Amino acid sequence: MAELVHVRLDDVRKGFPGTGPVLDGVSLEVAPGEFVAVVGPSGCGKSTLFTVLGGLEPPDSGRVLVDGRDATGATAPFAYMPQQDLLFPWRTVLDNTALGLEVAGVSRAEARKRAGELFEPFGLAGFERSRPGELSGGMRQRAALLRTVVLDRPVLLLDEPFGALDSLTRADMQAWLDGVRATFDRSIVMITHDLREAVYLADRVLVLGPRPTRVIAEVVVDLPRPRVPDVVTTPAFTALEERVHHALRSAMRGPVTRAQRAGGSGLGR
């Protein structure tokens, strides 16, 4: 299994022609084996943060450090799970989950063997030869996550993994992901819109401000593990959720307040 690493994002700035600055000096750290959830207003640049962190886009300035070494632009330490499941219809479920290993130069037979071993723990046994279209939404997400985990990279980047699921399936998947995490010891960074999901799964929740964004608050989740679904009704849980909620609300009010303070009309930026 991959060695755990320490990840640091150091004052990362990124903009695009047309949209202007998106990341305005984002700094964060992920300890080895830590689960960090990232929440923020819609369109604040969470996905852009992931593309820079995962080495897909170069930052305009700032660095990505892995175990203290510059890893800006490197994809190798990160296993990335995009928002859509992106299971390709021309591949069976097994071949879809083995794709990353094939790309990495593992022989097809070996790649299928390694991915196949995870079908049982991922609740996909018996669906190896199915086409992605034959799977339910929850199973598709599990297959996409299997494809990410099997790469055996130290850090998982999950971009709203359960965003497209109905709330019942989503609750199931959250409990299940907590179990997966206990088995496969990795660092996880997860973007989500769902504050309860963030508190339920993470060791630490980072709150991003509106675009151009930076980390404006951090909430440490000191609830015991493993988390049982009932934890969401405990006072400790609701207090944490309220803190995240509050940080997010004041983040969204932020720019208006600043404009008002400057004597503006309150129309925002």
Residues of this chain that interact with other proteins (CB under 8 A) are: 51, 54-56, 75-76, 78-80, 82-84, 86, 88-90, 99-100, 102-104, 120-123, 126, 130-131, 133-136, 138-139, 151, 169, 172-173, 175-176, 179-180, 182-183
Calculate Rg over the CA atoms of the chain.
19
Query: Which lies closer to other proteins via its Cβ, residue 80 or residue 241?
Result: 80
The one-letter amino acid at 85:
D
Q: Which helix (H) or strand (E) holds 187?
A: strand 187-191
Query: Which lies closer to other proteins via its Cβ, residue 118 or residue 206?
Result: 118
CB of 164 to other proteins, least distance (A): 13
Query: Which lies closer to other proteins via its Cβ, residue 98 or residue 207?
Result: 98
Which phi and psi angles does 195 have, rounded to 5°? -65, -40
CB of 91 to other proteins, least distance (A): 8
Query: Which lies closer to other proteins via its Cβ, residue 135 or residue 248?
Result: 135
Cβ–Cβ < 8 Å for 35, 188: yes
Q: Report how far residue 126's alpha carbon sits from residue 86's, in angstroms, rounded to the nearest whole number.
A: 21
CB of 89 to other proteins, least distance (A): 5
CA dihedral for 76, 78, 84, 85, sign (positive or negative): positive
Query: Which lies closer to other proteins via its Cβ, residue 86 or residue 220?
Result: 86
Cα dihedral value 14, 6, 157, 112, nearest 10 = 130
CB of 202 to other proteins, least distance (A): 17
CB of 221 to other proteins, least distance (A): 20
Q: Report how far residue 64's alpha carbon sits from residue 48's, in angstroms, rounded to the nearest whole number.
A: 14
